[in-house]
Structure 1
Amino acid sequence: MHTRRTPTHRRNRPRTRAAATLLTAALLGTACSAAGGASTSAGAEPGAAQATLAALPTATPAALAPYYGQRLRWRDCGAPGFQCATMKAPLDYAKPDTGDIRLAVARKKATGPGKRIGSLLVNPGGPGGSAVGYLQQYAGIGYPAEVRARYDMVAVDPRGVARSEPVECLDGREMDAYTQTDTTPDDAGEQDELVGAYKKFAEGCGANAPKLLRHVSTVEAARDMDVLRAILGDSRLNYVGASYGTFLGATYAGLFPKRAGRLVLDGAMDPALPARRLNLEQTAGFETAFQSFAKDCARRTDCPLGAKGTPPATIGKNLKSFFTRLDSRPVPTGDADGRKLTESLATTGVIAAMYDEGAWQQLRESLASAMKEKDGAGLLILSDSYYEREADGGYSNLMSANAAVNCLDLPAAFSTPDEVREALPSFEKASPVFGEGLAWSSLNCTYWPVAPTGEPHRIEAAGAAPVVVVGTTRDPATPYPWAKALAAQLSSGHLLTYDGDGHTAYGRGSACIDTAINTYLLRGTPPKNGKRCA
């Protein structure tokens, strides 16, 4: 699934399981393998008997003592005030003597005034988003001054991500081909091409990182955070995680409830859902967001999808018709590498704009250019931003890491293309605009070279300090019901609701949300459970 912040608001990159195309819905994954098994199957419905993520022993095992006791060598890096270091963690926590993995860490020390509270670890989501990049480009300079004054702002790229021994599956040209693969196959030949693309992606990951792929789970990344907590000298972990980062933070709280400090989980995921259900509910989330965009578009004279006053349902049909035309007749983009705007790239571009209502004007202009002037450059820019494609044709490892984590954390949503076809009606009901493509995109983990280690499970974190769970009512990537579900699961969860559009809420313009979160981070006082903000 997708969970990341929007390309225009490059703070948090949640994503989806669907590595392959895109943004799809298998966002999650939850793993209990290291801390207690889950008995629910991939196809189980919510409400079925499930295991709860079990806490790890409070005492540090002797075999892990060298990791917990290591000292980091900090060096200046990036903009003034930032420092970087490399920490070691065991590749396999079950066999810590079999090798290390090196993880990139960055920090910006508390600026004062005021007494230092401790370290504040941040994660932007994905999975696959660079926390170090997020810290250096946004959090370390853009978080409220009073928060940066009292906390050392800290980030670690999770294993397999960005600077932390990144998983790499395809080169730039191969990724270009992959992102253009048709995810709405019309016949057996196109279906075979899509399956072939997923297999090639998976084979590339398996060939380039066969050992690492078995050890990039969310449970392992959460355990890495506890090692970092100890290295930094903090008795408790203070943390702000967005999108997938909420699953990572909740997993930490479940494994180490007594070490969980002030945790903010913004744009929350529900770890109890199996992959297919996650993908289906995320599909509905994108439809909810699109309907909000459509209503806004219908009020404007520059809406390319219908005249002023056009019903939102008609606007959706018009967009779907545009996608269908692109399926057979892609439009030029002026791209130096000769790429045209295909149905898949256009769909990705539109989905990318759903993450932030601030991108809606850009989307209207891009759609108008593509539909009326046969110029797909604007939508291609949105799509490239989503995939983190650079001007030179290279890509970050976001999509590779996204698949590696998600496909390890949860059993695949579908076992065969036939299962996807059977599920198409439910996905198309959830979203007439995006349902078909998101259903097929949920097939990508089916061909993954490594068996999943996780299962759906509840996270209760009994004994943890208050945890603030934030949900946005029209969030496309992490639908609001997920925040309600996670807050209800957590024994000390406090639900904070933003009645608005876009993905996540903190730092996106609501003074009510920001004040509630800042008060919690600075004073330890959580908002009243159920508090709502506009």
Structure 2
Amino acid sequence: MILDARRSPARCTPDRRSTALRTPVVVLVAGALLVLAGCTTPAKEQAPVVGSTTGPAAEQAPEGFEAYYGQTLEWTECEDGLQCATASAPLSWQDAEAGTIELNLVRNTANAQDPSARIGSLLVNPGGPGASGAEFVRSDAASDGALFGERLQDAFDIVGFDPRGVQDSTAVECLDDKGKDEFLTQSFGTTDDELAAKADAYREWGEACAKNTGDLLGHVDTQSAARDIDMLRAVLGDDTLNYLGYSYGTQLGATYAGLFPERAGRLVLDGAIDTTLSADDISKGQAVGFENALRAFVEDCQAGTECPLVGTVDDGMRQVRAVLDEAYERPYPTTGSDREVTQNLAFYGVARTLYSQGDWSFLAQALTEVIDDGTGDLLLTAADSYNDRNLDGTFSTNSSEAFSSIGCLDDRGTSNLDQMREEAAAIEEAAPTMGTFFAYGGLTCAEWPYPEVEQEFDLQAKGAPPIVVIGTTNDPATPYVWAEGLADTLDSGVLVTYEGEGHTAYSPSRSCVADVVESYLVDGKVPDDGVTC
């Protein structure tokens, strides 16, 4: 299983964008973004809205795709003073005749009254793959600018978009809510029979995605999404792309820079993914990342007065593992529903709280409940938040569907069982508490109905201007070493280090990181490589 980076049922979203988990009502989606109503009309099958197809934007288009680059967006006012629009994109960037899909956009226009102080558009992506950029911008507006600093809001039209396959764009569909709930609840062991059952479950999931999504399922890869971004850049009227991406959004941004280095403007990649790593490398890296984050939690918990984990830190780690192992043999009952907390849900619940130090107190309460009372209500609350599951059994997003669909096209681990067993042993040695949950990830995509997409972009993004890469020293989902790797891989990469806990670093409330990010995006001031906050 891979969490919050390239594939698996999870999302990557910045931790400060959250309010701490609270009970008993689930008010948060994964990464703790508030769930807000959409403002766009349902997707329609239609040709692009064509403006001038002979202007500068259309001239930048690949042959046959001029109408997409030349389209005119029809912006309408929607909630919180935002503007909404729908852009048309080709189903396939290799075949202009294959059909048309739609991309959902939300824009918060620049606040600056002086037109000369406005730079243009800043496209943002909160991660995933599968997180909604449109919801991200709505969340900022609803929280009075908690996500983007005033300097960014003054200078830029901040534009969030749902990538192809995601949410209110033309979306991937797999199972109905009941089927999806059952899929996310099931747990699997590591015997031959149990692994075969896991492979069957993911094969059936992929078959359902293919049946209910159609040809789109073969075209939701990151390279196609990066080509969509270039089209959006042109349609928005920007000569170069200004971009702020988090977690998986850093992979998307690095891919854009590799495809269009001459059109890259000011790019900031926060919570970076090392694009040179394989899916199997990603699994091991995340296992260690979550192991380290859990250890930091246990140390903090035991330093307090109301921690259920006793003895040494190692003892506390083993107690957490015992909680997870017990859930496999005997799922925890809940007092608030007839649902049980399986091992998979228990793991989701623990992992969800490790994205932000602000949620550690919730994890302590959840573990206290399990250890003292034998019930899992709080772990279930966290797991449901992680999976975007509402109390009534519906799901607020299609993030799980998009996550696996995008990831299986981008890169997939080995499907050789003997090799997976060797890798599982190495993962569990490196991460004794959490490692087992990151093993055998190759089964996820082993029988995916569409092939992996061939890499077409330059990993080094030669010719691109400086690209700011940010890493947090104890980030569980995108370990700091990945930021070092991406900054080193990119010819123009500039590494910024945030010393702290949690997933991603930029926040208006973190003055040092905010100054670095905003000075670069607004003023073009390139930070010193290796600067630390």
Residue identity opposite 1:228 in structure 2: L
Deviation at 1:416, TM superposition (A): 4.0
Which letter does structure 1 place at the counterpart of 2:327? L
TM-superposed CA distance for 1:83, in Å, is 1.0
Shift of the 116–251 alpha-carbon distance from structure 1 to 2, 3 Å rule, reads same
Classify the secondary structure of the residue corresponding to 2:97. Answer: helix
Partner of 1:459: 459
* Conservation of the 8 A alpha-carbon contact between 1:183 and 1:441: no
Partner of 1:55: none
Shift of 1:296: 1.0
Amino acid at match of 2:156: Y
Provide Cα deviations, 1:492-519, integer angstroms capped at 9, x if missing partner: 1110000111000001743211111111
- Inter-CA distance 499–354: structure 2 relative to 1 (3 Å threshold): same
1:131, 1:59 → 2: CA distance?
Answer: 25
2:74 equivalent to 1:73 = yes
Q: Secondary structure in 2 aligned to 1:271?
A: coil
CA RMSD of aligned residues (A): 2.1
Say if 1:231 and 1:457 are closer, same or farther in 2 by CA, change over 3 A: closer
Q: Secondary structure at the match of 2:275?
A: coil
Report the equivalent of 2:189.
Answer: 184
Q: Percent identity?
A: 41
Give the 3-state SS of the residue equivalent to 2:152 in structure 1: helix
Contact 1:8 1:359 in 2 (8 A): no
Instruction: Please give the secondary structure, in 1, of the residue aligned with 2:178.
Output: helix
Helix, strand or coil at the partner of 2:137: helix
Match of 2:175 in 1: 170
The TM-score normalised by the length of structure 1 is 0.86
Distance 1:249 1:409 in 2: 14
Task: Please identify, of 323-332 and 157-166, the stretch whose mean Cα deviation from structure 2 is larger.
Answer: 323-332
Give yes or no for contact 2:86–2:104 (8 Å, CA) kept in 1. yes
Q: List aligned pairs for 1:479-490, cutoff 5 A.
A: 479-490=479-490
The 3 A distance-change label for structure 1 pair 10 and 193 is farther
Distance in structure 2 (CA, Å) of the matches to 1:260 and 1:427? 37
- CA distance change for structure 1 residues 9 and 375 in 2, over 3 Å: closer, same or farther? farther
The farther-off stretch of 200-209 and 246-255 is 200-209
Q: CA deviation at 1:401?
A: 0.2
Equivalent-residue separation in structure 1 for 2:477 and 2:343 (angstroms): 20
5+ long unaligned stretches in structure 2: 5-10, 20-29, 31-58
The 1:385/1:75 distance shift into structure 2, 3 A limit, reads same
2 CA distance for matches of 1:457 and 1:376? 46
Query: Could you say which residue in structure 2 is the equivalent of 1:407?
Result: 408
- Give the alignment of 1:496-515 within 5 angstroms: 496-507=496-507, 509-515=509-515
* Residue identity matched to 1:331: Y
How far residue 458 of structure 1 moved from its aligned partner, in angstroms, is 5.9
Aligned mates of 2:406, 2:470 — CA distance in 1: 23
Shift of 1:11: 6.6
Q: Deviations over 1:40-81 (max 9, x none)?
A: xxxxxxxxxxxxxxxxxx94333111111100111122x231
Contact 1:246 1:268 in 2 (8 A): yes
1:41 counterpart residue number: none
2: CA distance, partners of 1:439 / 1:382: 22
CA separation of 1:117 and 1:6: change in aligned 2, threshold 3 A: closer
Offset from partner CA, 1:308-344 (integer Å, 9 cap, x none): xx322221111111111221122222354x2211111
For residue 144 of structure 1, what is the aligned residue in structure 2?
149
Q: Is the 8 A contact 1:294 1:316 kept in 2?
A: yes
Q: How far is the alpha carbon of 1:104 from its aligned partner?
A: 0.7
Partner of 2:8: none
User: What is the one-letter code of the residue matched to 2:159?
Assistant: V
Greater relative contact order, per chain length (Cα 8 Å cut-off, separation 6+): 1
> Contact 2:415–2:442 (CA<8 Å) still a contact in 1?
no
Measure the CA separation in 2 of the matches of 1:11 and 1:221. 26
Q: Measure the CA separation in 2 of the matches of 1:482 and 1:476.
A: 11
| Partner amino acid, structure 2, of 1:98 | A
User: Which is further off, 391-400 or 327-336?
Assistant: 327-336
Q: Distance in 2 between matches of 1:459 and 1:139?
A: 35
> Structure 1 residues 188, 492: CA separation in 2 closer, same or farther (over 3 Å shift)?
closer
Aligned residues of 2:13 and 2:127 also touching (Cα < 8 A):
no
Tell me which residue corresponds to 1:319: 320
What residue is the counterpart of 2:53 in the other structure? none
What residue identity is the alignment partner of 1:401?
A: A
Instruction: Give yes or no for the alignment of 1:516 onto 2:516.
Output: yes
Unaligned ranges ≥5, structure 1: 13-22, 24-57
1:299 to 1:127, Cα distance in 2 relative to 1, 3 A: same
Corresponding residue for residue 52 of structure 1: none
Superposed, 1:125-164 pairs within 5 Å as 125-138=127-140, 141-142=145-146, 143-164=148-169
Equivalent positions of 1:87-102 (< 5 A) are 87-102=87-102
Contact kept? 1:487, 1:494, Cα under 8 Å:
yes
The aligned residue for residue 212 of structure 1 is 216
| Length, aligned pairs only | 483
Deviation at 1:164, TM superposition (A): 0.9
Q: 2: distance between equivalents of 1:486 and 1:109?
A: 31
Of 240, 244, 252, 1:240 maps to 244
Structure 2 CA distance for aligned equivalents of residues 419 and 125 of structure 1: 30
Structure 2 distance, partners of 1:161, 1:331, is: 33
Structure 1 residues 278-427: aligned runs within 5 Å = 278-306=282-310, 310-336=311-337, 338-395=338-395, 396-410=397-411, 412-427=412-427
Structure 1 Cα separation of the partners of residues 149 and 113 of structure 2: 13
What residue is the counterpart of 1:63 in the other structure? 64
**Distance in 1 between the 2:336 and 2:213 partners?**
31
1:444 aligned partner: 444
Aligned to 2:41: none
Whether the aligned pair in 2 keeps the contact of 1:272 and 1:457 (CA below 8 Å) is no
Indicate the SS of the match to 1:453: coil
Structure 1 SS opposite 2:124: strand
Residue 119 (structure 2) aligns with: 117
* Corresponding residue of 1:474: 474
> What's the offset of the Cα at 1:5?
4.1
Are 1:227 and 2:250 counterparts? no
TM-superposed deviation, 1:440 = 3.1
Residues 99/179 of structure 1: CA separation in 2 closer, same or farther (3 Å cut): same
After TM superposition, give the deviation of residue 419 of structure 1 in Å.
3.4
1:532 aligned partner, one-letter code: T
1:28 is matched with which residue?
Answer: none
